[in-house]
Amino acid sequence: MRGASRTLPAAAVAALLVLSGCAGSGGGGEDEASDNTLRIIYQKAGDASPLDTLMQTTKEQFEAANEGVTVELEPVEGTDEDYNTRLALSQRSPDTAPDVFYEDTFRLRSDVEAGYLLNLDEHLAGWEEWDAFNEAAKEAGKADDGSTYAVPLGTDTRVIWYNKQVLEDAGIEVPWQPESWDDLLEMARTVKEAQPDSRPFSMYAGTGTGEGTVMQSFYELLYGTESGGLYDEESQKWISGSQGFIDSLAFLKTIYDEEFAVTPAEALDPNVWQVVLGTMLPENQMAATVEGSYAPSFWQEGGMFEWPEYADVMGVAPFPTQNGQEPGATSMSGGWTLAVGAGTENPDLAFEFLTTAMSQENLLQYTVDNSQIAVRTDIAEAPEYLDANPFVDDVSAVLDVSNFRPATSNYAEISTAVQEATEAVITGGATPEEAAATYDEALTSIVGEENVVEE
């Protein structure tokens, strides 16, 4: 599952650094690094990691083309939260800062503001393949100053993934397309009546799943209300007092109270997504969930949860707006990039490593392996890409109704406040109204009263 931003306790951070082999390792110290060494930090999700395969391939190609240069790969195994914490810690000192690193798009602007990313404008001007990247995708790597600081690896969307067998067994016709939140609840109640032990419709909630809670769950709801999202682009202020915020929390409360979703205890487990994708859906224990367009990467051959029948068993539906109002559906898009560290002693070599990873051949393989939505036009048209994922048309179609997180420097704190609101509701710690009021207070504290607008 993609995305997390919660801060770990100091003791946990120290343990993480030791386990990842970073504690005391240098990126620029005299005794621990040389002018001919590049350090690459990225996330490794399980043994079958498409990103790890890409980095290993790029290292081999790059070292063969650059005699005397050593590439040190430093994969961080664990959740998105673990990775973001590890990366943030490494960036605090020039002795541990990486030369090239995997960067979530929602963290880019805050990391640029902190001075962690190299401005790539001059390097990109001399890279002919930059023209092959989709113009919209390029925006993901830009900061407020209009310059580009990262190159996109791929983008994604969020949709409802449903098990056709479970729905059919409950008497629900497929293909299934809900047109409102009420349709979602009607499906869940129908399945629950037919199969009392099933989990008809689950969405992430709580701080355990971090950014997955907001991207695959809460924002799918919020951005489909009349209230809209978190941030008013016209006034450039954060929205407070939102009825849509309350309604979204109330929907989550309903699916957890009526036992349609996983249990609250399961929801707070950072690895609950593995149970959903690896057990509940393949074993017909769950009717539907909301996940990213990349879900097939876990089920396809070589994936973490190989499931040969997934293409026949699973179906896709856009997530509906609250009452079926225009545009009828909603989605969230994000994605990851590769960036060069601002303090690298080898900016040209670091950029060359980045472009080697982003070559058409390498990025095509990664896009296929990771079930990403292509960011290069020559990949989007490649037969290998079009044939690899049977759902590529379905998950790409919702780009027209997709939304993006407000990528401000204080977004991570606000995301955590949203996650805490969902957790309070599903655990019974607060009503939707109380949790929304607590969020509004936290929001004002984070951004200042002058940057908040009442709905």
Is the distance from CB of 113 to CB of 409 less than 8 angstroms? yes
Lookup: tokens for 69? 């240069």
- Do 165 and 314 share a domain, yes or no? yes
Name every residue whose Cβ is closer than 8 Å to that of residue 139 and which is 6 or more positions away in sequence. Answer: none
Cα(329)–Cα(298) distance, integer angstroms: 25
- Do 50 and 25 share a domain, yes or no? yes
Nearest C-alpha neighbor of 284 from the set 160, 165, 159: 165
Q: Give the pLDDT score at 222.
A: 98
- Do 260 and 322 share a domain, yes or no? yes
Q: Give the pLDDT score at 406.
A: 86
Residue 2 lies in a domain: no
Backbone angles phi, psi at 49, to 5 degrees: -110, 110
Q: Give the pLDDT score at 73.
A: 97
Is the distance from CB of 169 to CB of 195 less than 8 angstroms? yes
Residue 357 lies in a domain: yes
CATH number of residue 370's parent domain: 3.40.190.10
Residue 319 lies in a domain: yes
Residue where a domain stops, chosen among 386, 403, 420 = 403
Cα(267)–Cα(277) distance, integer angstroms: 14
Residue 4 lies in a domain: no
Residue where a domain stops, chosen among 384, 403, 422 = 403
Name every residue whose Cβ is closer than 8 Å to that of residue 112 and which is 6 or more positions away in sequence. Answer: 143, 144, 145, 149
- Do 90 and 127 share a domain, yes or no? yes
- Do 22 and 68 share a domain, yes or no? yes
Backbone angles phi, psi at 274, to 5 degrees: -70, -35
Cα(292)–Cα(142) distance, integer angstroms: 23
Residue where a domain stops, chosen among 385, 403, 421 = 403
Show contacts of 297-306: CB within 8 Å, 24+ apart.
297/50, 297/369, 297/370, 297/371, 297/372, 300/371, 300/388, 300/389, 302/48, 302/369, 303/48, 304/45, 304/46, 304/47, 304/48, 304/274, 304/278, 305/274, 305/277, 305/278
Is the distance from CB of 57 to CB of 50 less than 8 angstroms? no
- Do 43 and 165 share a domain, yes or no? no
- Do 186 and 295 share a domain, yes or no? yes
Helix axes 243-257, 181-194, angle to 10 degrees: 10
Strand ranges for 5-106 from DSSP E: 37-44, 70-77, 100-104
The bridge status of strand 37-44 relative to strand 70-77 is: parallel
| Residue appearing with tokens 């800062």 | 97
Cis peptide before 327 (omega within 30 of 0): yes
Q: Give the pLDDT score at 35.
A: 72
The SS3 call for residue 238 is strand
- Do 236 and 303 share a domain, yes or no? yes
Amino acid at 122: E
- Do 186 and 277 share a domain, yes or no? yes
Cα(363)–Cα(355) distance, integer angstroms: 10
Residue 3 lies in a domain: no
Residue 76 lies in a domain: yes
Residue 202, domain extent: 158-333+408-454
- Do 364 and 269 share a domain, yes or no? no
Residue 55 lies in a domain: yes
- Do 126 and 197 share a domain, yes or no? no
- Counting as low any pLDDT under 70, the low residues of the chain are 1-34
Nearest C-alpha neighbor of 102 from the set 48, 52, 145: 52
Q: State how many domains the chain has.
A: 2
Residue 391 lies in a domain: yes
- Do 315 and 350 share a domain, yes or no? no
